[in-house]
Structure 1
Amino acid sequence: MMNQGKLKLKVIAVFLMAIMGMSCSNKQWESYPEGIVIYPSDPSENSAQVVRITPLGDEIIKVSASATQAFSPAESLTVLPDVKPVKFNVEEKEDQLVISTSKTLVIVSKVTGEVEFADENGKTILEEKTNGGKTIIPMEVDGEKGYTLQQVFESSEDEAIYGLGQHQANEINYKGKNEELFQYNTKVSVPFIVSNKNYGILWDNYSFSRYGDPRPYGQIDQLKLYDKEGNEGGLTATYIDDTKKNHVFVVRKESTIDYENLETIENFLADFSFDHAQINWEGDIEANEDGMFHFLLYYAGYTKIWIDGELMVDKWRTAWNPSVAKFPIDMKKGKKYSVKLEWIPDGGVSYIGLKVLSPRSEEDQNRISFFSEMGDQIEYVFMKGNSMDDVISRYRTVTGKAQVMPKWAMGFWQSRERYKTQEELESTLAEFRKRHIPIDNIVQDWSYWKVDDWGSHDFDEERFPDAKRMVDYVHDNNARILISVWPKFYMGTDHYNEFNEKGWMYQQAIKDSIRDWIYPGYIGSFYDAYNEGARELFWKQIDEKLYSKGFDAWWLDATEPDILSNASVEYRKQLMNPTALGSSTKYFNAFALMNAKGIYEGQRAKNPTDRVFILTRSGFAGMQRYGTTTWSGDTGTCWEDMEAQISAGINFSMSGLPYWTMDIGGFSVQKKFENARKGSAEEEEWRELNTRWYQFGAFVPLFRVHGQYPFREIYNIAPENHPAYKSMLYYNKLRYRLMPYIYSLTGAIYHEDYTMMRGLAMDFSTDKRVLNIGDQYMFGSSMMVCPIYNYKERNRDVYFPNNEGWYDLYTGKYISGGQKLNVEAPYERMPLFVREGSILPVGPVIEYTGQETDEPVDLFVYTGKDGSFKIYEDEGTNYDYEQGEFSTIKLSWNEAAGELTIGKREGAYDGMAKEQAFRVVFISKTSPVSIDKNTKDLKVVKYIGEELKISL
């Protein structure tokens, strides 16, 4: 805090000096130790009156732009205050100012303040749009003055854009696309992008934002609407209140379809029952201009939409947790397009909406644009490198390192919603151990408290008679336990009162007597995580009630914050207003960051030794520095949601946050699965869905099963002789066999700012064919993962990138790169391929990560080109690696010499084994070897830390 305070005073002093300098002279710019302040002589309307350039690294440039002659002294929540500026030079060139580090040039117009970034040779990397790159418009909310902001950059035709967090519309490349950036269950917004041109932009703003088109989606009545009979004015809406009898409740004309939140659903017909309902909207739409219209379908229940007879969307979501689908239509002025929207609400009141963005010029649509509802000034950080990995490394330099997760966290996580008793949880772990199913972690989800005691952190002793003994039981059985902790407190509980008496509870939900969904409904609210004292109290309560019992990890749920599900964005702002830092409009998106900060800092202060582990449902830029893994929220048990998780996880990881997971199988269950009879088609689909999701889930950073009933333990999904059980057990064991590889990747996340779940563009940037592939990805440097996400699919198309060779993991068969092939995908296997030149360390089957074994580690060498891999090891649970206590062994394959080198061990840590046994397996075009090959007959090499060379 002392450093932050000094920095703030320093910044204020610099601004005052700059302003004084302007008043005493006619200079257009001022230099200070950290950077340059430029005062444009002729800025465009609603643009910046002053621009500040602060080099934070040779390839990291912070840009601030203000509508006044001064800058806000407010500290960034995402950019660390102790990032040290670097040396730079300044040169005036006619009407430009060139600020240069050793690797980056920043060219700023002294006339307009427009900014351009170039490499050390002067080659342009990114430049602001001319005459309109910056827009700063005054606004005021809750008595607080601020600005609505937009920043626009040019973008080349062959550029691809990734990042922005985790969204559910099944998009991978955001070039030319639009995304609203706000937090919501299943939606995590991170205002960071990385380009295949090897640069990134961190947009440092916390308010509701938009990437792409700055306009909000509009109602469909901006189009001409025609009913089924061809009459203008609206679509024909047919309300069926009993689908079994096909009974029509009413038919009416509707000019909008806007039932997206708790406020707008009040516009549904009174007395209409949704329990067995269906609503169809039909007619024609007509545009009043040519161009690409971008449609946004907001849906819950079973939803289909056809345009001119083409099925554009076929989706399902549970009634209480809607999602979005997007589709563009290139429309011609005056032409009618038939439309049919078929909606089955899936029981109870549900949500539906259809909106549209009218066309912009292709040039505007393809530019890079960030828009934010409120901020003090434009603030962003530009960063570049020689690769996307370099860019993400710069991002973590600015926003914080991601830790090495505890080794146990990289094992298997078993969860369900929820273990209702102590006996249920303990018996589940016992069953895993009895069946020898590998497991490291078990989860106690919500509602372990008494029904009217949310936020107390006290266990209901009728169901959990001895929570400390339960924790001890888990530990005695070589596992860890995570527990759900919400920022939510029922009014009147002791913990609520502790917050409330200090003014640290959001009050709107209390004033409005909002009741939650727990029968008969209880009034409560969330604490203000933006308040430092409130964060400290939140940890103190958790420490006293839960950490004292030995719980290992924290599940921070509903951290959007989800004070009232399905409220409008405007009402959500009211529910968390004001924050300790200012208006909720200004600080809308960063709650999860502040909430995690309190837990992380609290635990590390209490126990500096053990690594923090936090699972959180929402996230923001900088979350990685607080020991967090984010999961994708309450997704649905449907194939389309499984598919959407692939691109969602890739883009989240490419947003600089390396630890991501999901509810394997989906959280919210379709009734056809919930009520499936034994031996039914629905039961078989349920088993296959879980199997395919499980296969995929074994190859994301965190391997975790969770969801509503039916229970998610593999023995509850299928019997031992069923292919579903066999496949899930196989991938569980394979995950553990790959632990030397996986934990090494985890080490690289901290030591090399690595990214474990990788879009293909990260490793094959010169292959343009990978830029829009969102259903394949690299898991580390060696393995390409190709999930199966369609029911009864037994093959799929796979693109093999970059003219490199690939090996089938299961057979060892060689495949030439640079081609698309249709590959087999039997029920029990998901396509997995290994890049030639890879060295894959594979351990024995173990049942938990800490299990000691004398079995050798197999080194699978996939020949064909030179390659290397670094095996990383440390103690596994403590932070000693931050002080250099870890070891690495570099493995190198020389293709020409046909020789594997096991390098000299570098480094050491307490408890490190001095000896290691290796077996080497060579795979080549002419000698295919399966990952499942019995390697016991191979020669064992004894390694004592000195270099070894092994020939093919």
Structure 2
Amino acid sequence: MKKKRLFPLVLFTLCIQFCYAGHIERLKDGLLIRLDQPTAGGVKQVKLQVITDKIIRVTASANDSISATPSLIAIVTGAPDVKWTSEEKDNKVTLKTGELTATVNLGTGEVLFTDKAGNIILQEKKGGGKTFTPENIDGHPLYKVQQVFESPAGEAFYGLGQHQTGLMNYKDQDVDLTQYNSVAVVPFLVSSRHYGILWDNYSITRFGDDRKYEELGKLLLYNKEGKPEGLTATYAFRKKPDSIFVKRNENKIDYTFIPSLKDIPAGYPMAKGIITWEGSISPLTDGLQKFYITSSGYIKIWIDGQLMLDKWREGWNPGPSVFQHQLFKARKHAIKVEWIPESDQAFISLKQLSPTPETLHNKIALTSEAGEKIDYYFVYGNNTDEVIGGYRTITGAATIVPKWALGYWQSRERYKTQREVISTVQAFRKKNIPLDNIVMDWSYWKQDAWGSQEFDPARFPDAKGMIDSLHSIYHTHFMISAWPKFYKDIDNYKLFDNKGWLYKQNIKDGQKDWIGNGYVSTFYDAFNPDARKLFWSLLSKHLFSKGVDAWWLDATEPDIYSNSTIEHRKELMNPTALGSSTQYFNPYALQNAKGIYEGQRKENPDQRVFILTRSAFAGIQHYGAATWSGDIASRFDELARQIPAGLNFSLSGLPYWTTDIGGFYVEDKYDQPDPKGADLQEWRELNTRWFQYGAFCPLFRSHGQYPYREPFNIAPENSQEFKSMLYYDQLRYRLMPYIYSLAGHAYHDGYTLMRGLIMDFDKDTTVQHIGDQFMFGPSLLVNPVYTYKARSRKLYLPANTGWYNIYNGQYTEGGKYITADAPLDRMPLYVKAGSIIPIGPALQYTSQLPADTITLFVYTGSNGKFSLYEDEGVNYNYEKGQFSTISFNYNEASKTLTIGKREGSFPGMLKQRSFRVVKANGAGLNFDTKNGKLISYTGEEQNIPL
């Protein structure tokens, strides 16, 4: 019998070897394909690696081998236990899993992905779309790499991190993936066609058109007199605009970085100036001309009399803006740019690109400055949640934040003394304003000791006692700012310097920062694992030992010296422990967070690590890290830009995000010395509207420069503004059973808390471009108000479901736009039919009371479900299975709510509790309603008719 079996096995083995001889090699987890006739600058090898049934990694090389340099973002390798087959036929080789097929053209290396039915999901550009351009970087041979894919009309794209240009759908847009204060790069792209691309490259990358933006002078420029001599640039005085300092013709507007400020006319007082550029422009080709702006101060741009941009940002932090405008080569298009710099360190740049080339129409292009290979993961799913779940399969699950972190945080720039910290928390408790976290911003150290990680004893005489009292008396947690920055020659600097673990270029330059008369400093190299351990040891010794609960990691782009050119920024962090800063420009924040996460978990395995970082990268969610949107302006237009920025960040696979409620830096009208009259009213309304929005962000946090940001410092306690902020703070805490359940599902099920409408309503194409509304969990449609004095707003109710106004219970069928009331004290908020929302008790802090009784508000009209998730809230026992879930299911046909049997358990779990079941139709949300049915629950299934 054994001999009879042996012959077919040998024959099969020989067949496999024959079939794959030469250019195809079967690996334990995929295929390696060697092209017979690679083209110049093209691919020689393509490797398909099976990760799961729905995830395939594609690597490609222009060399005779594929680099095996370990990934910084992937925690998975191949999965040899996943069943797959392969076949070679018609000059193609296919790899097939249970869910999808990847086909490689043996002549071009082109990869095609199809589903089980053979439908195309994604295909690389005809011919393969792979380009390798040799680059010698710091003496190492690397490549500029590009991968182009086909993209059918009607497809929409999201993700790519946090970009504050106001865009939601990135189809036919260009996105610059360069880390910067308020720009957080995550190279994960999500398609409306239910797939994602995780681009495993760490250098500066461009999505879309990879051509460099060009000076305005590449267009035909005419001055105010119509002469082809450039635009008329007028440098005048702001308070006397008719008093002109100098007027001249200029063919560019390019004061982008510090070195370019030397081109400002000598002696011109920018802080007192107003500059205009006027004339007309004519393109070389017809079409949508692209414009890219970075600016600080006040800027307005008009083209053909149409106001295209009206923006303000603080002088030291220019931010990006983009727009497109139809231009015709046979026409002169009027242009006017007005800039009020406000300071001598303000920046402006206006660049342009001709219309997108035909070769990139209906394409996806990813282009990176430096890499050893092309390396991407194709992630497929039945819906966007599955796609994001696939991203987390590759990069790591999103750890559950400590429960207290989902409560309200108070911060300001900055609490200067121990007394200010304690008195602020005392005021919250006295006024019964819910609070869970107080935040210590920078400069708690001695002025000349940045990097010491030690409190200045003159201002914080007993830091440990302060933190102990916050914990034991006020039940408040304490987060502290921890920069990777060290002043030259302090003791901690020397510890790193002796090991060679510092970036030294800024030391050589002798460049001083902005503190006092200035101090010379640099950052540590977070790409070095031993340097990361040393950094943690300093935080542990000086801060964690005193009871610090969480870490605020600032300037992690890294921002070693602000407003440097990109090339100088590379010099400032070069070399890294892994290689050239050009190759490793973007993931500093990931490495820095990883060191703190691993250090704290090793030192205290029973305390959840929690990190807030200004920058981000793929995989950072695995290291207990959330991100905030950086140093943004206190303006309504800036509030508007936060909404799509946060949604795309969440669609990048990172579930925890927040923004400075009220914006970080303020215009002079709010700050000198205090806002008054109309300015005061606008300030209060801005903070109120931002607070309403912030209550439905994954993290709920107020922070900013003076004026102080505590609700009672913004508006009087009898005002509409204060009462509104208090209402939404209280609502946030009442929703804690709902919110913490979402956090649990984010870890266990790959869920996303803050949801672009494309996630839940992808069959409704109207939602593809909507970036100013979102779902908070499965039930709540959030519609922020971001226009001053608006008392209503237009919003879209997605189709194929009904919607209830949460405040009055009024029902409206979906699939249409409505104009919703938005009085000053309320933001439009709707509940999807079929929702079950658990509401907990009134709380002053998250751990004050157990969630008993929970009121279940059931919104009928459709079947509905919700799963209540609970665990201990502070440790990692949930990773060991110590948690519980209780399912709620509403059946519309039988009008019955089923409370399911409790699954799982954990120490301290409520074994007996009460649920109050309320049919919510036709009435507003009432926290303390006594209506409905009170149910005693001991863990067994119950059916409740409604």
1:27 paired to 2:42: no
Shift of 1:334: 2.1
Structure 1 distance, partners of 2:607, 2:923, is 40
Shift of 1:458: 1.1
Q: For 1:515-530, what aligned pairs fall within 5 Å after superposition?
A: 515-530=512-527
Shift of 1:852: 1.5
1:663–1:705 Cα contact (<8 Å) kept = yes
1:79 paired to 2:62: no
Range 555-564 or range 232-241, more displaced: 232-241
Q: Which amino acid aligns with 1:697?
A: G
Shift of 1:83: 5.4
Question: Which residue, out of 926, 935, 940, partners 2:934?
Answer: 940
Which residue of structure 1 lines up, in the alignment, with residue 193 of structure 2? 197
Structure 1 distance, partners of 2:803, 2:61, is 52
Structure 2 distance, partners of 1:407, 1:825, is 31
* Distance verdict in 2 for CA 1:859–1:195, change over 3 Å: same
* Distance verdict in 2 for CA 1:24–1:788, change over 3 Å: closer
Question: Which residue, out of 654, 658, 662, partners 1:665?
Answer: 662
Structure 1 distance, partners of 2:298, 2:344, is 13
2:839–2:927 Cα contact (<8 Å) kept = no
Structure 1 distance, partners of 2:74, 2:642, is 28
Which residue of structure 2 lines up, in the alignment, with residue 357 of structure 1? 353
Structure 2 distance, partners of 1:679, 1:285, is 42
Structure 2 distance, partners of 1:78, 1:698, is 31
Which residue of structure 1 lines up, in the alignment, with residue 235 of structure 2? 239
Q: Which amino acid aligns with 2:46?
A: V
1:741–1:841 Cα contact (<8 Å) kept = yes
Shift of 1:22: 13
Range 416-425 or range 75-84, more displaced: 75-84
Secondary structure of the equivalent of 2:898?
A: strand
Secondary structure of the equivalent of 1:275?
A: helix
Shift of 1:792: 0.2
* Distance verdict in 2 for CA 1:51–1:176, change over 3 Å: same
Which residue of structure 2 lines up, in the alignment, with residue 326 of structure 1? 322
1:584 paired to 2:581: yes
Question: Which residue, out of 913, 931, 938, partners 1:916?
Answer: 913
Shift of 1:679: 4.6
* Distance verdict in 2 for CA 1:24–1:265, change over 3 Å: farther
Which residue of structure 1 lines up, in the alignment, with residue 3 of structure 2? none
Range 509-518 or range 678-687, more displaced: 678-687
Which residue of structure 1 lines up, in the alignment, with residue 53 of structure 2? 58
Which residue of structure 2 lines up, in the alignment, with residue 694 of structure 1? 691
Q: For 1:109-508, what aligned pairs fall within 5 Å after superposition?
A: 109-131=105-127, 133-244=129-240, 246-362=242-358, 364-476=360-472, 477-508=474-505
1:705 paired to 2:738: no
Structure 2 distance, partners of 1:886, 1:330, is 57
Structure 2 distance, partners of 1:22, 1:481, is 63
- Alignment: residue pair count: 929
Cα shift readout 1:20-68 (whole Å, capped 9, x = no counterpart): x999996121111121111122333311111111011111000000011
Q: For 1:833-912, what aligned pairs fall within 5 Å after superposition?
A: 833-852=830-849, 856-912=853-909
1:44–1:132 Cα contact (<8 Å) kept = no
Q: Which amino acid aligns with 2:27?
A: Y
Shift of 1:131: 2.8
Q: Which amino acid aligns with 1:950?
A: I
Structure 2 distance, partners of 1:51, 1:82, is 17
Secondary structure of the equivalent of 1:651?
A: helix
1:301–1:343 Cα contact (<8 Å) kept = yes
Secondary structure of the equivalent of 1:354?
A: strand
* Distance verdict in 2 for CA 1:442–1:861, change over 3 Å: same
1:757 paired to 2:754: yes
2:918–2:933 Cα contact (<8 Å) kept = no
Secondary structure of the equivalent of 1:561?
A: coil
Shift of 1:291: 1.9
Structure 2 distance, partners of 1:295, 1:854, is 52
Shift of 1:293: 1.3
Q: Which amino acid aligns with 1:948?
A: Q
Q: TM-score, normalised by structure 2?
A: 0.97
Which residue of structure 1 lines up, in the alignment, with residue 8 of structure 2? none
Cα shift readout 1:919-941 (whole Å, capped 9, x = no counterpart): 111023xxx12112641254421
Calculate percent identity across the aligned residue pairs. 53
Q: TM-score, normalised by structure 1?
A: 0.96
Q: For 1:88-107, what aligned pairs fall within 5 Å after superposition?
A: 88-107=84-103
1:676–1:683 Cα contact (<8 Å) kept = no
Structure 1 distance, partners of 2:844, 2:90, is 69
Which residue of structure 2 lines up, in the alignment, with residue 14 of structure 1? none
Q: Which amino acid aligns with 1:31?
A: R
Question: Which residue, out of 805, 809, 821, partners 1:808?
Answer: 805
Range 234-243 or range 299-308, more displaced: 234-243
1:578–1:584 Cα contact (<8 Å) kept = yes
2:29–2:78 Cα contact (<8 Å) kept = no
1:549 paired to 2:546: yes
Q: Which amino acid aligns with 2:277?
A: W
Which residue of structure 2 lines up, in the alignment, with residue 820 of structure 1? 817
Q: Which amino acid aligns with 2:470?
A: V
Shift of 1:425: 0.3
Structure 1 distance, partners of 2:17, 2:441, is 59
Secondary structure of the equivalent of 1:304?
A: strand
Q: Which amino acid aligns with 1:436?
A: N
Structure 1 distance, partners of 2:78, 2:466, is 44
Which residue of structure 1 lines up, in the alignment, with residue 645 of structure 2? 648
RMSD of the alignment, in Å?
Answer: 1.5
Shift of 1:290: 1.4
1:83–1:398 Cα contact (<8 Å) kept = no
Cα shift readout 1:420-466 (whole Å, capped 9, x = no counterpart): 00000010001000001000000011100000000001111110001
1:242–1:248 Cα contact (<8 Å) kept = no
Structure 1 distance, partners of 2:932, 2:863, is 23
Cα shift readout 1:199-219 (whole Å, capped 9, x = no counterpart): 000000000110000111111
Range 125-134 or range 484-493, more displaced: 125-134
Q: Which amino acid aligns with 2:601?
A: R
